[in-house]
Amino acid sequence: MKNVGTFAGVAVALLAITPVVAADPPQSTAQSSFTKADKNGDGKLGPDEVKNQTLFKRMDTDFDGFVSQKEAQAHAKRRGTRAGAAVAAGEEVSNIPVFPANADGEAAKRELLSTIADVTSGPKRPPNIVLLFSDDLGYGDISLYGSEEIPTPNIDALGKQGVRFSNAYVTAASCSPSRAGLMSGRYQQRFGFEFNTAGGAITHRLHRGLDPSVVTLTDVLKQAGYVTGMFGKWHLGTQPQFHPQARGFDEFYGFLAGAHSFFPAKAPQPFHSTIMRDKSPLIEPEYLTDAIARETVRFIDANQDKPFFAYVPFNAVHTPIEATKKYQDRFPDESDQTQRDYYAMTSALDDAVGSIVAAIDKHGLSENTLVIFVNDNGGPIYTGVQSNGPLKLGKLFLFEGGIRVPMVIKLPGRFEPNTVYDQPTSTLDLFPTICAAAGIKVPAGINLDGVDLTPFINRQSTGTPHETLFWSNGPNIAVRQGKWKLVKSYDNTWLFDLAADIGESKNLADSRPEIVEQLEQAYQDWRSGMSKPAWPSKPNRRKVEVDGLVYEMNI
């Protein structure tokens, strides 16, 4: 029986919102687009006539498996209404590039990096590094974190051989800003990366992405002598100045935008959406999770004799929910097709992890390879198939289900196997922890927000990695300080004691106003050091009801 999160005491319902009315799109344009897509001329669109399956599902409002012309026109009208609302709110998107190529910023970055010593030329080889980053995985969807439906033996093995984190957090409840925090080791709000970059075409046209002047983890590792490769989903910009090979990677296989089908494309795709090797577009014939594993294994095989960094940001298990028969057949008792496909996708992800670990083992590199497995944000509840176990809500929310994630770190001889670390940690900490393991001294000018977790995990330090952690998402904020967790959306306030209430079921804001005030002040002090968002959130900001209070979703 699937569980999509903790909903005890949590009512999630769309509120009635009066939209700003925009003019209907011209009838002739809508008719022309529909007629062009209706290849068999039957007056309706089937799944094979709409390439974007997410779009197809949104338009098929009566769930009959087809899109009528009326449904297509209604969808176009809804999009026009949202755009009108954004203009009315004074949020019309500027056509000025956000982060164009900047020669001065690049020069300053190179100068800063030039102070980093090569750590690979000494007598002792530094550890290889493999960073496995899953996408939209539910907190409770691997057996290491409580799943009874999906066996994940390979991810579980990493946990038994390393350290499992019970209070690991990402820096955002959605894909793109979370990746910005991971790759920079800094709160992404410092350089305006507060929201997703939007769709691939807008992202590309407006030069949205990770500020090219920001130093990445890969920049540092490459400067220190590592050979670097990335395999999977980038989602940090599509223009040349954002390309992975402009951000420290020697090799790249994957795609630049935020989502991609797991099956082969039927035709060439735009540059910002296509699968590519380095900068050359291609059509991948294999199931994409298998292909990402294949390419990572190839990279390990080719570079076994030198220190390497493999960043593997799978797009599994992000939508679209798609799986091959090989993986579907592992769940014959699941009658719901979408749920079965999701289980199958997760099983494929676990197989991919197993293939990569097996390649490390094959070359005798296990004892000197740092392996990290972590997820980019909580599992979404809108799919109806992910489970965040005991946590509240999921992706897009700053409650625990949106920002607390599975995380495992393994490095034999450095971290004691089969241990659990319970203090709050962040993906911000992976940058300095990786560099410390590699023996790299990070220049002070990079100003990381994360800390090296090693002394805390190994109990050499009696404190905690972070006194306070912060999140910002437009009108939504969150603060974690010790056992206390504050969430606010505009003036609506939630306060939870996570030590006693991991599911955030009891709002203590009214009974503990002094804690609310303390955490609000801490947030304001932190926010004063951040930048304004470099671009707005998407205009369709849904309001939902949580515990009788309104929460506005900003993406």
CATH code of 263's domain: 3.40.720.10
Summarised one tens digit per residue, pLDDT across range 261-274 is 999 999 999 999 99
pLDDT value for 90: 40
Domain hosting 412: range is 103-466
Residue 7, in any domain of the structure = no
| pLDDT band, residue 15 (cuts 50/70/90) | very low
Residue 315, pLDDT > 60, answer yes
User: Do 543 and 405 share a domain, yes or no?
Assistant: no
User: Do 431 and 499 share a domain, yes or no?
Assistant: no
How far is 327 from 340, CA to CA, in rounded Å?
9
H or E element at residue 236: none
H or E element at residue 45: strand 44-45
How far is 236 from 414, CA to CA, in rounded Å?
32
Residue 308, pLDDT > 60, answer yes
Residue 168, in any domain of the structure = yes
User: Do 168 and 199 share a domain, yes or no?
Assistant: yes
User: Do 322 and 280 share a domain, yes or no?
Assistant: yes
pLDDT value for 88: 43
Give the start-end residues of each E strand in 152-303.
163-165, 168-169, 227-233, 251-255, 275-277, 280-282
| pLDDT band, residue 54 (cuts 50/70/90) | low
pLDDT value for 317: 98
| pLDDT band, residue 332 (cuts 50/70/90) | very high
pLDDT value for 510: 98
Residue 8, pLDDT > 80, answer no
| pLDDT band, residue 53 (cuts 50/70/90) | low
**CB-neighbour burial class of residue 267 (10 A; exposed 0-12, middle 13-18, buried 19+):** exposed
Residue 12, pLDDT > 60, answer no
Residue 351, in any domain of the structure = yes
Residue 474, pLDDT > 80, answer yes
The residue that leads in pLDDT, 362 or 462, is 362
Residue 228, pLDDT > 80, answer yes
Summarised one tens digit per residue, pLDDT across range 70-100 is 878 777 765 554 444 444 444 445 689 999 9
The residue that leads in pLDDT, 63 or 269, is 269
Residue 57, in any domain of the structure = yes
pLDDT value for 234: 98
How far is 278 from 253, CA to CA, in rounded Å?
6
| pLDDT band, residue 215 (cuts 50/70/90) | very high
User: Do 173 and 51 share a domain, yes or no?
Assistant: no
Domain count, the chain: 3
- Give the mean model confidence (pLDDT) for residues 124-149: 97
Which of 466, 498, 514 is at the close of a domain?
466
Cα–Cα–Cα angle for 388, 179, 207, rounded to 5 degrees: 135
- Give the mean model confidence (pLDDT) for residues 423-436: 98
What are the backbone angles phi and psi of residue 260, rounded to the nearest 5°?
-160, 145
User: Do 405 and 263 share a domain, yes or no?
Assistant: yes
Q: DSSP labels for 447-506?
A: --SS---HHHHTTS--S-S-SEEEEEETTEEEEEETTEEEEEETTEEEEEETTT-TT--S
| pLDDT band, residue 276 (cuts 50/70/90) | very high
User: Do 462 and 475 share a domain, yes or no?
Assistant: no
The residue that leads in pLDDT, 426 or 32, is 426
- Give the mean model confidence (pLDDT) for residues 486-491: 97
Give percent above pLDDT 90 in the chain.
81
User: Do 460 and 487 share a domain, yes or no?
Assistant: no
pLDDT value for 48: 76
Residue 98, in any domain of the structure = no
**The model's pTM:** 0.86
Residue 216, in any domain of the structure = yes
User: Do 291 and 245 share a domain, yes or no?
Assistant: yes
Residue 25, in any domain of the structure = no
Residue 363, in any domain of the structure = yes
pLDDT value for 347: 98
pLDDT value for 14: 38
Q: DSSP labels for 281-311?
A: EE---S-HHHHHHHHHHHHHHHTTTS-EEEE
CATH classification of the domain holding 504: 3.30.1120.10
Q: Name the maximum alpha-carbon separation found in the chain.
A: 72
User: Do 176 and 50 share a domain, yes or no?
Assistant: no
User: Do 475 and 456 share a domain, yes or no?
Assistant: no
User: Do 277 and 181 share a domain, yes or no?
Assistant: yes
- Give the mean model confidence (pLDDT) for residues 200-225: 96
Q: Which of 103, 131, 113 is nearest to 219 (CA)?
A: 113
- Give the mean model confidence (pLDDT) for residues 116-124: 94
How far is 300 from 141, CA to CA, in rounded Å?
28
